Amino acid sequence: MEDQLLIKNGRVVDPANNVDEVLDVLIVAGRVAEVGHVSPAVQKSVSRTIDARDKLVTPGLIDMHVHFREPGDEEEETIASGSAAAVAAGFTSVVCMPNTNPAIQYETDVEFVHRKGRQARKTHVYVMGSITKDRKGEELAEMGMMAEAGALGFTDDGRGVQDPAVMRQAIKYAAMFDTVVGQHCQDNSYGRDGVMNSGYSSTILGLPGMDVLGEEAMLWRDIQLIKGANVRYHAQHLSTAGAVDLVRQAKAQSLPVTCEVTPHHLLLTDEAVSEYDTNYKVCPPLRKQRDVDALRQAISEGVVDALASDHAPHLQSEKELEFLAAPFGIASLECALSLYIKALIDTDVVDWPGLIRMMAVNPANILGIDKGTLSRGKQADVTIIDPNEEYTIDVNTFQSKSRNCPYQGWRVRGRVEQTIVGGEVRFERSKVSV
């Protein structure tokens, strides 16, 4: 560990402390020692200085929704490869989803993920546990013991808990542990075999659709279920205008509801499926332009709490199947930041502090981890970003094992220069061999 690290002259964006100005950040023994103008004497004594002129210095970014596929599908991603991808993308903390094979459903599974994360020595690797055994939506998994082992929340992500009686019990029970309950809002009754959004595009392509009502019906149900339950509820990867409207209404009633949105649903519509390119097959599916507009609007109003990549790596051989047969998911971790910039900053939906709020401050609060700020004394997770550097997304440069990314060839901006985790520089762009 570098004992003293000085990040000089960067634009420090630390929304939790209302900081947005050119300052120095001094890290000592893995913690933030000072954010301000560091004296020349100290500048001389530090073991390393990073010149962050014209760069952004932000609290370490947090991606609260990734699939690292371990255990079970290590050919698609491992916790090690995913962690390398995470730091290359500026994420100092990630939360793995439990839809592995087998699912994360015992305390030992949680410990396994943590151990693999520590061994990778890249990013902080957290995990959510399953709500139900084998994610079948029938019997509760051992939520208490998983929480004790450090699971940051629960979800059956990949599918929603269909049975309202099961979800009611899960919500009531989870109130004991002060962890967030997540939901992949999708009531299968509204399109059981669907592979894309239900609408004009699915009609033209002759593909079975998933109705927006499936997402909205489950979210509405869950919002009713949490009333009086004293539990925090987090709606994962919302995609429809109606869904963010439900969150807006729930927040107006001060219900403990938060939500996240992925880059896909902020940038793409179901028209992108036109050539049956399975890289656009994602769940929830790409919706219509009015949904994209509604999500951006909700972000501008502060209705959306977090941005999450929903990084879902898959083998090329699986994605080369018929659209009906191919798996859902997009490998997006390593372009996520640039995609958010394109969707939200370049369109004046939010400014940098607003973006960092959704990429660090709010995720930390939802997850209940002591992160997301550069306050003095905090563990030094810091991301240094060159906001203006343009580049072309090239899946072949990904640290991730997978290449299923529809953004290949997109011209974007915003690159991560350094990622500092616990005071240690874990990623440095200048050291990446091209």
Shortest distance, position 124 Cβ to another protein, whole Å = 35
Kindly tell me which of 144 and 242 has the beta carbon lying closer to another protein.
242
Kindly tell me which of 213 and 369 has the beta carbon lying closer to another protein.
213
Kindly tell me which of 198 and 362 has the beta carbon lying closer to another protein.
198
Kindly tell me which of 108 and 203 has the beta carbon lying closer to another protein.
203
Chain positions contacting another protein, by CB under 8 A: 198-200, 202-209, 211, 275-276, 317-318, 320-326
Cα(422)–Cα(100) distance, integer angstroms: 28
Q: Rounded to whole angstroms, what are the CA distances from 191 to 138, 186, 194, 413?
A: 20, 9, 5, 37
Shortest distance, position 312 Cβ to another protein, whole Å = 16
Cα(283)–Cα(286) distance, integer angstroms: 8
Kindly tell me which of 176 and 325 has the beta carbon lying closer to another protein.
325
Shortest distance, position 318 Cβ to another protein, whole Å = 8
Task: Quickly list DSSP for 167-191.
Answer: HHHHHHHHTTTT-EEEE----GGG-
The residue ranges of DSSP E strands in 206-271, in sequence order, are: 209-210, 233-235, 257-261
Cα(308)–Cα(182) distance, integer angstroms: 13
**Contact (CB, 8 A) for 169 and 231:** no
Active-site residue, from 156, 305, 310, 386: 310
Cα(370)–Cα(379) distance, integer angstroms: 8
Q: Rounded to whole angstroms, what are the CA distances from 245 to 282, 291, 296?
A: 22, 11, 12
Cα(166)–Cα(169) distance, integer angstroms: 5
Shortest distance, position 288 Cβ to another protein, whole Å = 9
Rounded to the nearest 10 degrees, the angle between the axes of helix 241-252 and helix 289-300 is 30
Shortest distance, position 427 Cβ to another protein, whole Å = 36
What are the residues whose beta carbons fall under 8 Å from the beta carbon of 240, sequence distance 6 or more?
212, 215, 216, 284, 287, 291, 294
**Contact (CB, 8 A) for 34 and 376:** yes
Shortest distance, position 207 Cβ to another protein, whole Å = 5
Kindly tell me which of 322 and 370 has the beta carbon lying closer to another protein.
322
3-state class percentages of the chain: helix first, strand second, coil last, to nearest 5: 35, 25, 40
Nearest to 235 by CA among 193, 280, 186, 195: 186
Q: Which residues pair with 6 in a beta bridge?
A: 26, 49
Cα(31)–Cα(315) distance, integer angstroms: 39
Shortest distance, position 290 Cβ to another protein, whole Å = 13
Kindly tell me which of 187 and 386 has the beta carbon lying closer to another protein.
187
Kindly tell me which of 198 and 262 has the beta carbon lying closer to another protein.
198
Shortest distance, position 215 Cβ to another protein, whole Å = 15
For residue 248, the surrounding DSSP H or E stretch is: helix 241-252
310 is known as an active-site residue: yes
Active site residues: 310
